[in-house]
Amino acid sequence: MGERDVGKVGATASGADGRSPSAAPSRPVDPRHTGRHVVLLKDGGSRAAAERLRNATGLRMSMSSDFDGRVRGAHTATGEGVMFERLGVALLHGDPDQVRALAKGAGARKLIVEPERIVRVSGPWDDPLADSEAATWGLQATRVASSRFSGQGVRVAILDTGIDLQHPDFAGRAIVSQSFVAGGTVADVFGHGTQCAGVACGPLNPGRPPRYGVAPDAEIYVGKVVGDDGSGTDGDVLAGIDWAVGNGCAVICMALGTTARQGEPHSQVYEQVAARSLAAGSVLVAAAGNQSQRPDTIVPVDHPADCPSILSVGAVDPHLGIAVFSNGGRNPDGGEVDIAAPGVAILSCWPGPALYQAASGTSMAAPHVAGILALLAEADPAARGQALRALLLRAASGLPLPAGDVGAGLAQAPQ
């Protein structure tokens, strides 16, 4: 996989798990889709609602609260549906006729049905290092290096490709982890999740200087929602969000996405999920995407970062200019960038034996913002959900750049 293909949609859906042809969903017309569907229930995700879906589709329905740490990828079981109660969203594996029947049924007005998308991690690209001896340039630019806060007592979820639990920089840290990828463990083969966890929550004194982590005392929750090839699905991501919200994570970082076309509306399912997560006290942060080639081509913000209630993060370079690859606000109704953070030549940890690597991408910018949200949450214990999001945007430092590219400006840590 070429580095500049990362962040784009894969050609095939993940989860080729030996299904028989009769059990597999129809081949999706759009290569961004899996053939399954996500359904938002406007009146919530109760067991009674799951029973109504079962009656309407004939699919066996499970509840996400019935899963435990021994059941990985249970929501991808063939021929079934699963209800994520906290989100009020169901993932359905039915054939197109079953879904059409549901969309045209008596209760259709209470539902929003969308195709399940394939998502990929957003970045990274290799770059040379340009840091001081004490801290990365990103921690200096965001004032993290001088902050008196460390994220203590704040739960941060990293929904990505997993983590290297054996990395020496995480030794002694109590990390709660869960894989939502069918047949997989939380071990990070791809490397991206370890890197993002390091930027957001890496240690104050890493094994090899400089310091690269924003919130060294935050409580880390790692949900593996993207497979070892860097590809995942909406269903896996939604399962991770449901888990993170249920665990009381104040911040949920998703450095992943799929291309949004010019003029394409954002996902109503994800927008409602993000709004419900905010109401539950969890801020969703997502990478804006890396498909632009500035100044000639500026690509719209990726899904799901293009949802109004999800914090969309663009990337800036060491000169505080917009990164050449960073996507911009080209679609209306939520498709703008909300805030910017360092995303070029960012050092972080990496799975062994390499242990450290520098990279670029909005996927490096997003965990900067996630970590800063943890610092703000520690500084103001009453600020959660929408209040925490507003606090971040108010504290941003303005940049002489278009708001569509950097939103409120450069994210800043509390002092």
Residues 6 or more apart from 412 whose CB is under 8 A from it? 142, 143, 372, 395, 396, 397
Buried b (16+ CB within 10 A) or exposed e, 174-211: eebbbbbbbebebbbbbbbbbbbbbbbbbbeebeeebb
Which two three-digit tokens encode residue 295?
A: 């100044």
In Å, how far are 7, 82, 230, 299, 331 from 294, measured between CA atoms? 17, 42, 25, 9, 17
**What is the model's pLDDT at position 111?**
86
**What is the model's pLDDT at position 152?**
98
237-256 pLDDT, tens digit per residue, is: 999 999 999 999 999 999 99
Distance CA 17, CA 407 (A): 41
CB 321 within 8 A of CB 358: no
Tell the burial category of 40 from Cβ atoms under 10 Å away from its Cβ (0-12, 13-18, 19+). buried
Is residue 103 assigned to a domain?
Answer: yes
**What is the model's pLDDT at position 252?**
98
Least confident of 55-64, 130-139, 269-278: 55-64
Express as a percent the part of the chain with pLDDT over 70: 86
In a shared domain, residues 74 and 162: no
Catalytic residue among 160, 169, 188, 317: 160
Least confident of 79-83, 206-210, 258-262, 326-330: 79-83
Distance CA 105, CA 352 (A): 53
In a shared domain, residues 324 and 243: yes
In a shared domain, residues 111 and 146: no
Catalytic, 317? Answer no
In a shared domain, residues 231 and 345: yes
55-85 pLDDT, tens digit per residue, is: 888 888 888 887 654 444 555 554 578 889 8
Q: Which of the two residues, 72 and 401, has the higher pLDDT score?
A: 401
**CATH number for 230:** 3.40.50.200
Q: Is the pLDDT of residue 12 over 50?
A: no
Distance CA 194, CA 353 (A): 13
In a shared domain, residues 314 and 364: yes
Catalytic residue among 192, 266, 303, 368: 192
CB 290 within 8 A of CB 102: no
Full residue range of the structural domain in which residue 90 is found: 21-116
> What does the pLDDT average to over 276-297?
97
**What is the model's pLDDT at position 29?**
61
Tell me 195's DSSP state: H
Q: Is the pLDDT of residue 343 over 70?
A: yes
Distance CA 368, CA 294 (A): 23
Catalytic, 217? Answer no
Least confident of 28-37, 146-155, 170-179, 324-333: 28-37
Catalytic residue among 177, 277, 309, 363: 363
CA 175 from centroid of its chain's CA atoms = 18
Catalytic, 338? Answer no
Q: How many domains is the chain built from?
A: 2
**What is the model's pLDDT at position 93?**
82
**What is the model's pLDDT at position 22?**
33
